[in-house]
Structure 1
Amino acid sequence: MRDRARALLIDLDGVLRRWDPAPMIAVEVKYGLKPAALLETSMSWDIYRPAMAGEISDAEWMGLVASRLPLDGADAAAAVAQWQAYRGEVDPEALEFVRGVRAAGRTVGLATNATDRLRGDLDALGLTGEVDVVISSSELKVHKPAPEFFEQACRAIGTLPKHVLFVDDDDRAIRGARAAGLSGYRWAGTEHVPYLRKALDIVD
């Protein structure tokens, strides 16, 4: 049997933060871009990876996105700026879960692939004080699912990997966490929160 988890590492996007597609679609419609053009361009591996690894800034990343859009320079920059203005929303049920874990005396770390914009986003979303530690790929200079990310994340929360529960919505990240010795659970909503609480040995 696995050891009971004593700490939680939780992802941001797709777990604690959710995205309404409407504001992003509105920008693409306004500028005559194909659906998901901005997201697909931003996720191009040759520019996404260095942004997540802290090799380029968020501003530099978005500049590269704008340069690849089928728009003139001013319109491309404006489209990206308007697209980036929406910073998502906190999932209240996921936040309630995090608060419950901390109230039970367990350490919670936010473990996310992110750019240097992360800290400002957390402040704007009101999440800065909701976790004990923030572990950002751009600050570590290594991103999930690399084993080094999880090794450093566990050190940051002061807990051995075998005693850490990692929750993420990305299968690759879950596999990476498990390979690094953590317990990994793929987030698909709050219906399994009772199971996660039990995995953390939290009694209702």
Structure 2
Amino acid sequence: MPIPSAIRAVFFDAVGTLIHPTPSAPEVYAHVAARFGLVLSAAEIRTRFLAAFRAEEAVDRAANWVTSEGREEARWRRIVAETLPGVRDAEACFRELYEHYARPDAWVVDPTAASVFAELRSRGLILGLASNYDHRLEAVVEGHAELRTLRPHVVISSRVGHRKPSPDFFAEVVGAVGMSPGEALLVGDDFENDYLGARAVGMGAVLLDPNNRNPEVGDRIRTLPELAQEMAH
């Protein structure tokens, strides 16, 4: 998987690439739901959550991926409502879950991230973060030393008005470093939003595929350290 020599900046997706919820989202939802009078298994919650999440993705697709802080809160409100039907005090339940994911301790950073960042920077590369998220990610970034090093170049969908895979989102990404698309690379775990979205605008793209879900993709890695190894070639 050769990395183009023209690459001068590397952006990373956040959720699923650099950060992971801990405990898992279904476990957190199950725990909170039980306190609000609804008992569901983590497995059932996962099924309902994925269906609700996909429905909101379809809404955003129909809207050409336009977003805002208000839209992001509304989409999560609907996801929680569909995932946890019948809880007592639905607003309080939603608010607790929504605020939970603004807490740095709700997330664990990939333990190899700091060394990968250091290796890439040693080669003169500029690093950044490019995420479909909202203002809550800023608090998460502040709470993790590894992520704080990316602060000069953080692009969040709710802040720029478009979500991946919109070309407008990726225009903001390359604009953040003042480069052409061919000089920037995105590393992410989502085949459509990250990999295809970046490639569609002429950016480099690497798919993080730890579970080998997309073996047909040539530009993919199983772990983050593989990226540093490939960029050494």
What SS is found at the alignment partner of 2:39?
coil
CA shift, 1:145, in A, is 1.0
Q: Which has the higher contact order (CA 8 A, sep 6+)?
A: 1
Separation of aligned partners in 2, 1:57 and 1:143: 11
Q: Percent identity?
A: 23
Separation of aligned partners in 2, 1:171 and 1:22: 21
- The farther-off stretch of 187-196 and 86-95 is 187-196
1:56 equivalent in structure 2: 70
CA shift digits 1:51-90 (9 cap, x unpaired): 9821516544443344433223426733762575252211
1:137 equivalent in structure 2: 157
1:202 equivalent in structure 2: none
Separation of aligned partners in 1, 2:23 and 2:59: 20
Unaligned runs of 5+ in 1: 200-204
2:224 maps to 1:190: yes
1:17 equivalent in structure 2: 19
2:156 maps to 1:154: no
82, 85, 88: which one pairs with 2:100? Answer: 85
What SS is found at the alignment partner of 1:149?
helix
After TM superposition, where is structure 1 displaced by more than 6 Å over at least 4 residues in a row? none
What amino acid sits opposite 1:157 in the alignment?
V
What SS is found at the alignment partner of 2:231?
helix
2:89 maps to 1:74: yes
- The farther-off stretch of 14-23 and 137-146 is 14-23
2:128 maps to 1:121: no
What amino acid sits opposite 1:44 in the alignment?
A
Unaligned runs of 5+ in 2: 210-222
What SS is found at the alignment partner of 2:11?
strand
2:209 maps to 1:175: no
Number of residue-to-residue matches in the alignment:
199
2:218 equivalent in structure 1: none
CA shift, 1:116, in A, is 2.1
Cα pair 1:3 1:162 within 8 Å, conserved = no
What SS is found at the alignment partner of 1:198?
coil
What SS is found at the alignment partner of 2:70?
coil
Over the aligned positions, Cα root-mean-square deviation in angstroms equals: 3.1
CA shift digits 1:141-185 (9 cap, x unpaired): 011111121122101112211111211111112111111111111
CA shift, 1:17, in A, is 0.5
Question: For the structure 1 residues 82 and 150, does the alpha-carbon distance in structure 2 shift closer, same or farther, using more than 3 Å as the test?
Answer: closer
2:165 maps to 1:163: no
Separation of aligned partners in 2, 1:22 and 1:46: 21
- TM-score normalized by structure 1? 0.80
CA shift, 1:92, in A, is 1.8
Cα pair 1:7 1:163 within 8 Å, conserved = yes
What SS is found at the alignment partner of 1:35?
helix
